[in-house]
């Protein structure tokens, strides 16, 4: 039996074997906030942007909805408008869905879909959110998923995509990696826990560069400036974390 290591929050992992299992699901929100810079600020940004795209009977899809925290915030944000919205939580891990159902038990307008994104046809939507999800999908499947997203958006609808990204230049990648490690140290993780988490993500987390992501998104149908006009912008950027807003 291969040795297990601690990756923080007492999460036991193996090398190259990070999984969003029940152990991770129970502490996911805490772990995400300590591991991803401005995690809750990104949520707040999505809440504010959502007002530009949602209307009566809009469908919102959260791809990789984890424990349902963002969907709950979105529902609370728009509840006072008395909109009839419908949320689709698409999540492949049952442990995450179980946590979501507890958190969203009082919200009637939520549908839980236990599917891998590459096997699910997204319904016609006004807003689709992928919050640090695509980076965990095998690279050869991402183009198909993004095309599915583009085709599923109503005209004028939006994709909000947050991803960990790689630098184009090795020198900057090294610099940013060191700063990111300092961020995690400052949040209470030990050097050993940081290394263990990195080892667990080998072959599991595979970020693309900005250009790499733009290439995928452009081929999916989203318009960038090189086409003569653009319907895309970068909303957020900190170290190697980037948030895109893409309008169909």
What distance in Å separates the CA atoms of residue 6 and residue 192, rounded to the nearest whole number? 8
Of 189, 154, 199, nearest to 53 (Cα)? 154
Cα angle 217, 40, 220; round to 5: 10
Q: Phi first, then psi: what are they for 43, rounded to 5°? A: -60, -45
Using alpha carbons, list the distances in angstroms from residue 164 to 55, 57, 171, 176, 178.
30, 32, 17, 12, 15
Inter-CA distances, 122 with 44, 103, 145, 244, Å: 24, 23, 9, 19
Sign of CA dihedral 234, 188, 6, 40: negative
For residue 139, give both structure tokens. 């690279």
Helix axes 39-50, 69-79, angle to 10 degrees: 40
Site of tokens 């095998």: 138
CB 159, CB 246: distance < 8 Å: yes
Q: Are 106 and 91 contacting, i.e. CB atoms less than 8 angstroms apart?
A: no
Distances (CA, A) of 174 to 107, 149, 168: 44, 33, 11
Which residue reads 């300092």 in tokens?
A: 182
- Is the CB of residue 102 less than 8 Å from the CB of residue 22? no
Q: Which domains, from first to last, does the chain contain?
A: 17-66+73-84+116-248 (3.40.50.150)
pTM of the predicted protein model? 0.94
- Cα–Cα distance between 79 and 64 in angstroms, integer? 23
* Number of helices and strands in the chain (H, E): 8, 9
Check residue 1 and give its pLDDT: 47
Q: Could you give the CA distance from residue 197 to residue 15 in angstroms, rounded to a whole number?
A: 8
Per run of 10 residues, the mean pLDDT along the chain (length 248 residues) is: 78 88 93 97 97 95 98 91 89 96 94 96 98 96 97 97 95 96 97 94 94 95 72 94 97
């Amino acid at each position: 039996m291969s040795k297990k290591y601690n990756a923080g929050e007492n999460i036991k992992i193996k090398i190259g074997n990070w999984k969003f299992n029940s152990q991770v699901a129970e502490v996911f929100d805490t772990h995400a906030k300590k591991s991803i810079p401005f995690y809750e600020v990104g949520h707040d940004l999505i809440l504010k942007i959502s007002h530009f795209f949602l209307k009566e009977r809009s469908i919102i899809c959260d791809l990789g909805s984890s424990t349902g925290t963002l969907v709950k915030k979105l529902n609370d944000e728009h509840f006072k408008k008395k909109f009839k919205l419908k949320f689709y939580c698409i999540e492949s891990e049952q442990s995450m869905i179980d946590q979501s159902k507890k958190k969203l038990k009082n919200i009637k307008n939520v549908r839980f879909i236990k599917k891998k994104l590459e096997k699910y046809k997204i319904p016609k939507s006004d807003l689709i959110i992928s919050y640090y999800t695509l980076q965990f999908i095998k690279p050869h499947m991402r183009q198909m998923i993004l095309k599915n997203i583009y085709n599923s958006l109503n005209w004028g609808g939006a994709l909000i995509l947050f991803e960990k990204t790689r630098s184009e230049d090795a020198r900057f990648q090294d610099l940013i990696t060191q700063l990111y490690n300092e961020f995690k140290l400052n949040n209470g993780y030990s050097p050993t826990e940081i290394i263990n988490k990195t080892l667990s993500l080998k072959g599991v987390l595979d970020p693309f560069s900005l250009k790499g992501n733009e290439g995928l998104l452009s081929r999916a149908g989203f318009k960038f400036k090189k086409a003569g006009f653009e319907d895309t912008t970068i909303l957020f950027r900190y170290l190697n974390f980037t948030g895109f807003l893409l309008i169909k």
